[in-house]
Structure 1
Amino acid sequence: MTPAARLAAAIDLLAALDDQPRRPADAIANDFFRARRYIGGGDRRAIADRAWGVVRQRMRLEWWLAQIQCRPTPRMLVAADLLLAEGLEVPTVLRAFPGGQYAPEPLNVLEERLLRALAAFRDKAAGVQGLVHPAMPEGVRLNLPDWVIPGFRARFGEGLAEEAAAMEQPAPLDLRANLLKTTREAAAAALGAEGFETEPTRWSPWGLRLPSRRPVTATAAFMEGLIEVQDEGSQLIALLTDARPGLRVADVCAGAGGKTLALAASMRNKGRITACDVSAPRLEGAVRRLRRAGVDNAERHLFAPGDRWAKRRAGQFDRVLVDAPCTGTGTWRRNPDARLRTGFQDLQELLAKQREILDMAAELVRPAGRLVYATCSLLPEEDEDQVAGFLGRHPDFVPLPLAEAWASAGPPGEPPAGGPYLVTSPARHGTDGFFAAVLQRRS
């Protein structure tokens, strides 16, 4: 594809995202490219990179366009990104819209006038650095929605700007070696033979890292079940669950089974693990992944209204993992659209859901067993505050300090964070943002 054709496709993809604002961008992009199978792999990456670049900076781009009373259409967002983020001059931006077959239509008279007004506004301002203008409000300057700033400031303090900047960067691609079929070293060699050079992750003894997103799901290593895609922070949550061979384990919010797979591998297919979720399609996806990974000690349970499964299995599990539904603020570098489609009302609804799930999961834990509560959020309301509320309602549980839980799980070295709970973040650890608390039931 020509550069102009790629640009036109990126504009079309942005339009598709605008048409479905509450749907995850990855799912929309998958459908977009599935309907355009003629687009090759290299072109897909270029188109996606262009579109995701606009999505990552959309808050700032919309602020700039608002200063000249311009509606943020996909075409003007892309034009503004070329002008402001890439630093192109107006004539060069105009040439990027040449018209003709497979190319974006030329900017019309109004669009060109707005583009020139935008350039003039930029040029007369002092202190502009890329997309950051000194007159921007704090949230736009940090590229964060206003509703998360109090929680993020409580979490990061003076490091807030550094963490916000790290959340703007594309995430690396982390993989987990499936120890049921291979070792980390052998998995790395298999990937290397297919042209994918990796390096070991710092804390997870199972992890391998690629510096950027690559099509690993097309490799023989993936199709043979030697590896799974999983962020290192997510791997650490599975590690802290300490699911040993012979135990009974429940993964209460299993989704498509990412952590179930890791737990089953650490159990070496011995004992029993139950993957639970409210979504039948997600559990079906988990079944396919478990089969590919060679897991044979897992069963599944689909929660339904009025379900008494937890009551019937009260006190039967040695380990219960609650990877709770959350705002996902820790994954915004990987899912930049989520910061645009998640709001304060979502947080309030999720807090109630998390409390309900935790109370149900507590019933499953046997005396002296462990409940691991985890989120991919960095908001204290969903993390430490949620745990404090749970401990107030359930005095038969006590927190197991991170250092003790880390030593019990057995990985080499020190844990990645101090304090009573695991907290990882993009700037401090190079992982997605995760929280985990290990809570032990009294004997």
Structure 2
Amino acid sequence: MTTKSRATGNIAKGTPFSSRYAAAETLVRLQQSKLPLKPLFDSVTLEYQITGAERGLAMNLVYGVLRRREYLNHLLSLLARKPFQQLEPFIHATLLVGLYQLFCLDRIPESAAVNEAVNAVKKARPGSHLHGFVNGVLRSATRQKEQLPGPQDRYPDRRPFLNHPGWLTKRWIKQYGRQEMERICAVNSLEPQLVLRVNTGTVSKEHYLKQLNQLGINATSGSYAPDSVVLWDFQGAVTALPGYQEGYFQVQDEAAQLATLLLAPFKESGSYLDCCAGLGGKTGHICQLTQNTTEVVAVEPEKHRQNLFHENMVRLFPDRNVALYPMPLEQFARDSESKFSGVLIDAPCSGTGVIGRHPDIRWNRKKSDFKRYQQTQSKLIELASQLVAEDGILVYATCSLEPEENRQVVDHFLLEHPEFVLCDCRDTLPEPAAKFIEDKCFCPRPSSSIDGFFAARMQRKN
């Protein structure tokens, strides 16, 4: 998937493309297409042959600019005579990338940040004089750095840099109050920590922690989920971590790990269904929590995700027979004659609880998206409920903070289905997670230790 931007029209030949060029180009294409960031970034770096450390830097720059966009645009408004809204998209993006390096990173020399920005413009706009404009703005920024606000400072009227669209922050003020809204926005502007779920059927968490620390990797036990490990400030490739090929771990935030626990207690000869399996994170966790005598089934309609699902299952559970049905849930529910002891539906959603990990979400979502997602979610929970056996458990989950996608979906479902009763999530979660229970549901808000999430546990009456 490649969406060409206007920045690629007059590319100068000869010199190779840089990480700064790729970062600016990704930001332009993102603004124009509103496509998901990760596949878009992958297509840009593949197109311009950005690999290794340069690719890592490009990703750092893109994600960093998106997390600090409001602040960086404010700097630009103080430095450039022309309003940033009137700048040509590639020039605007290049300046944001340059300012991010100058004001938010401390390991990149100022000269490198400025020179690479100038070279990127020369590459994209040969023969123009726009590189002089970019050079002037960034040189001025280096001279005035002490007088300009830092990323943790505020506007002159003391308002904080929220780095989120106004319509979204207004929603969160109504839901949580201004102080909590500002806290969520601040957390979303930080780089999140890498969290793993140790595959305890292969290696103990204590042994794996010891192995990581012996290699100089700063890792500790997580705060809430029993098999979680947090890697502080890890910047390398996940595939390079010890035990990756051996299936020692899966990348998964603590909130998602806790959601799978809501299917408990697991029956030794039971059957469990992951309705929206994706890459297999929660399917793998179900396998980890159950015996080989337990049937585990997954449904995933998207081809690319199916391939990654199989790769993860082979790596983590080579001896486990997990049936993956490559079809929409509607087709599976229509064709299946089975009823399951536990059904988990991690429904597609707006993702406002994981904006810290996916910073493009804040800029790509619209107010109308929540009702649109709700319609899909209501259909999926209806289909999932048809597959729950008597006395079986239905877990509905999203990584959204919005009531339209969470409690409203559950309340409407329960109103239409009196055969299901809402259970208290507190009864199946570890004690440290009890603080995240509200009205029986599991709903942590984003923090430095956990993603924003929602899950409800329902049981079908006999």
Q: Structure 1-normalised TM-score? A: 0.84
Report if the CA contact (8 A) 1:11-1:78 is conserved. Answer: no
CA distance in 2, matches of 1:137, 1:250: 51
Question: Among residues 61, 65, 70, which one is paired with 1:54 in the alignment?
Answer: 65
Question: Structure 1 regions of 5+ residues with no counterpart?
Answer: none
1:271/1:297 contact within 8 Å kept = no
CA-CA distance at 1:385 after TM superposition: 1.8
Are the aligned partners of 1:315 and 1:363 in contact in 2 as well (CA < 8 Å)?
no
Instruction: Give the 3-state SS of the residue equivalent to 2:292 in structure 1.
Output: coil
Q: Which residue does 1:22 correspond to in 2?
A: 34
Match of 1:358 in 2: 381
CA contact (8 A) 2:444 2:453 kept: yes
The equivalent residue for 1:174 is: 195
- From 219, 239, 253, the equivalent of 1:231 is 253
Corresponding residue number in structure 1 for 2:208: 187
Tell me which residue corresponds to 1:423. Answer: 443
Q: Which runs of 5+ in 2 are unaligned?
A: 1-14
Shifted more, 62-71 versus 51-60: the winner is: 62-71
Supply the distance in 1 between the matched residues of 2:378 and 2:157 (Cα, whole angstroms).
Answer: 37
* Cα separation, 2, equivalents of 1:390 and 1:277: 23
Distance 1:250 1:272 in 2: 9
- Do structure 1's residue 437 and structure 2's residue 461 form an aligned pair? no
CA contact (8 A) 2:95 2:117 kept: no
Given residue 299 of structure 1, which amino acid in structure 2 is its aligned partner? A
User: How many Å apart are 1:187 and its aligned residue?
Assistant: 2.4
Question: Which range moved further: 174-183 or 146-155?
Answer: 146-155
Could you tell me how far apart the structure 1 residues matched to 2:104 and 2:193 are?
A: 22
Alignment partners' CA distance in 1, 2:342 and 2:120: 61
User: Residue in 2 aligned with 1:165?
Assistant: 186
* Residues 70 and 162 in structure 2, CA contact (< 8 A), matched pair in contact too: no
Q: Is the 8 A contact 1:247 1:271 kept in 2?
A: yes
Given that 1:314 and 1:366 are in contact with CA atoms closer than 8 Å, whether structure 2 keeps it comes out as no
Contact 1:90 1:115 in 2 (8 A): no
Q: Report SS of the residue matched to 2:173.
A: helix
Q: TM-score, normalised by structure 2?
A: 0.81
Match of 1:290 among 300, 305, 313: 313
Where in structure 2 are the equivalents of 1:372-383 lying within 5 Å? 372-383=395-406
Identity %: 25
In structure 2, how many angstroms separate the alpha carbons of the residues matched to 1:247 and 1:186? 30
SS at match of 1:399: strand
Indicate the residue corresponding to 1:300 in structure 2: 324
Instruction: Say if 2:19 and 2:50, in contact at 8 Å, map to a contact too.
Output: no
3-state secondary structure, aligned to 2:21 = helix
Tell me the matched-pair count.
Answer: 429
Deviates more, 1:45-54 or 1:58-67: 58-67
CA pair 90-173 structure 1, distance change in 2 beyond 3 A:
closer
Give CA-to-partner distance per residue, 1:55-102, whole Å, 9 cap, x none.
Answer: 211234345546741325322222343565569999997566565999
Residue 335 of structure 1: how far off its partner (Å)? 1.0
Pairwise mapping of residues 220-259 of structure 1 onto structure 2 (< 5 A)?
A: 220-242=242-264, 243-259=266-282
Q: Note the C-alpha offset of 1:16.
A: 2.7
The residue type equivalent to 1:211 in the other structure is W
The answer to whether the Cα contact below 8 Å between 1:246 and 1:267 also exists between their aligned partners in 2 is no
